[in-house]
Amino acid sequence: MTKAMTQKQPDSSGVAEDPFLWLEDRTGKEALDWVHRQNAVTTGELQGDPSYQAAFQTALDLMTAEDNIAVGSALNGHVYNFWQDETNVLGLWRRTTVASYKTDKPQWETIIDFDMLSAKEGVKWVFSGASRLYPDFTRCLLSMSPDGGDASEMREFDIDTKSFVEGGFRAPASKSGFGWLDKDTVIVSAAFEEDEKTQSGYPRVVKLWQRGARLEDATPIFEAQKQDLAAGGSLEYDGDKRHLFLTRTLDFFASHSFLRLPSGQNRRIPLPDDVTDTALFRDQFVFGVRSPWTAPDGTLCQPDGLYSLDFARWIETGALDQVETVLQPAQRVSIAGIARTQDRLFINLMDNVRGKVVVCERNHDSWSLEPVALPENGNVGIAHAEHFGSSVSFSFTDFLTPSSIIWSDDNAATLMTVKSQPARFDSASLVSEQFEARSKDGTMIPYFVVRRRDQDGPVPTLLYGYGGFEVPLLPGYAGVRGRLWLEKGNAYVQANIRGGGEFGPNWHQAALKANRQKAFDDFAAVAQDLVKRGIATPATLGIQGGSNGGLLTGVSLTQHPELFGAVIIDVPLLDMLRYTELPPGSSWMAEYGDPAKPEEAAWLAAYSPYQHVKTDAAYPPVLLTTSTADDRVHPGHARKMAARLQAAGHANTLFFEETEGGHGGRGDRRPQAAQAAMKYVFLQRALNGTA
């Protein structure tokens, strides 16, 4: 691919062709030469700042501190944890006994040392998870990414011997999924060959792979359509009953689930396409819905409620009988997730962006619910729930309270705080507040502000947002942010704009597809409200967002440059007229729309940041970041946007591309610490007027 290649495309800004299409060649020499030149400028500018080295060391120390909380999940008497520190750069997969985990200094047993494995094999392996074999859980299917991306290699591993199984199951790096059916059979959600992939690049075919057989000879048992998002298979246990579930995921918010019967028939579970929050518990199939649905028995199922059907009876008769209500929906209360132990079902709720947990029992054919006695007015989450036991743990944090782990061995009947992170910054002078801003259409948008209690006048302020894919932004303690930003007298703001999941499916759907502009309007309204309250001025207000949040900050830059003094755009989508051409972009059409359809291309063109760069706009300083190894959001988006901004004369545009680490920056903490330090240096310079 050469620079001469251009692309004709519709847009609303008069740009008829794309002069930077060559930057989409992820590993092409011309593109990478451009990346290296950009990186040299950016690191020279930001890492050359006198404050950088101390900021980097602070970030690295905090990211690799030995007293960080070792978050773990219990299974068969052990707590498993993945750990990284200054010595273990790529990390240790390790375990300890439950009793030892509860002590101040657990005695950890290393299962795999990924630094040692990487040195031995010459590949920087990044741990991607393991599927363990019931009932002993010592044999596992281990997934490792060679570059930190989503594509992973799979190998069978024996925890007892701490070694890969000679002649065991093994598959090359791909976006395939693996799970056990039994000790000699693996469920493969396959995405190896082109005909096994959906158009988004995810698994399309589910197969059963017998021990000793070649992977290519595995037996297909289920297929999705090429245009679907993915297909998958998993084995679920309910007591001593085993169920093989097969899923055809149509898009991010719609799916069809099937049960594989002993006859070999795949019978679809008769629920609506937009079912969500599913669990199998005590012969009941628990589910939620994203839009109202009337069950055959007349029960009206509403978003943000939970319902159940008699799964055992459905298997026996094929008929969907009575649907029961597990949890009634409530105003501004949404479901953050559900998890189960052997005898209890736990529901994680968000009540006006504050967390709580409810425990459910199933007795005498009815449901009973009661709250778990956890701290209030913070972010409460279910850290783990032991499917085959009775242990469950919860996380608690807020902006000013270090994270803690609250543990129970008896289904939350008794609770004990077993881990607490030490304070990472001085919060005595800080306050966390929740405000609301009125968006363009009158909707009230909540947001959190963390700042000095005695703030008198505007200060450098960082506004963070996401607003997509039903993902909520919740309060959380961040040591790096506290040390490198809040301790310097600056303010941090987190906006709960539409498109996210803070208030359930309706809050998300309000900003879908043609309504996407509402999310951008919400963010602008929060920015304007911050100025109105005197917390910041446009010159002292910086914004940051990643992935879909990178689209948000990209649109904010092009639509409202006058509102901001600095813009950080991380691993973003930015060319919305071409995003489906950059794998796996087509998987997001349920969120954004399809640019191949004229009507949908029109609304995408109305806001797509890449097409709205202007030469005569007064843009604030911009920092764009991405990763060469990102196989979720293509680095071409950030590359092309930086190139277009610079070509339009906006010399205050900086670009940085990490060469490993994937979409979430997994792997070595040093590059992550370097990026964090550079971003805070960038913000401090821009918002203090020294950039």
Would you please indicate which residues are annotated as catalytic (active-site) residues? 547, 663
Do residues 465 and 523 make contact, with C-beta atoms less than 8 angstroms apart? yes
Cα–Cα distance between 288 and 307 in angstroms, integer?
6
Task: Tell me the two tokens of residue 349.
Answer: 């709720």
Name the 3-class secondary structure at 441. Answer: coil
Q: Which helix (H) or strand (E) holds 623?
A: strand 622-627
Residue type at 390? Answer: S
Burial of 529 by CB count in 10 Å (0-12 exposed, 13-18 middle, 19+ buried)?
buried
- What are all long-range contacts of 642-649, with beta carbons under 8 Å and residues at least 24 apart? 642/38, 643/20, 643/23, 643/34, 644/20, 644/610, 644/613, 645/613, 645/619, 647/19, 647/20, 648/613, 648/614, 648/615, 649/615
The answer to whether 303 and 505 have CB atoms below 8 angstroms apart is yes
State the Cα–Cα distance between residues 472 and 463, nearest whole angstrom: 15
Q: How far apart are CA 402 and CA 440, in angstroms?
A: 36
CB-CB neighbours of 438 under 10 Å: 13
Q: What is the DSSP letter of 663?
A: T
CB atoms within 10 A of CB 150: 21
Measure the CA angle with vertex 148, ends 147 and 150; round to 5°: 110
Which residue from 661, 677, 655 is spatially nearest to 627, judged by alpha carbons?
A: 661
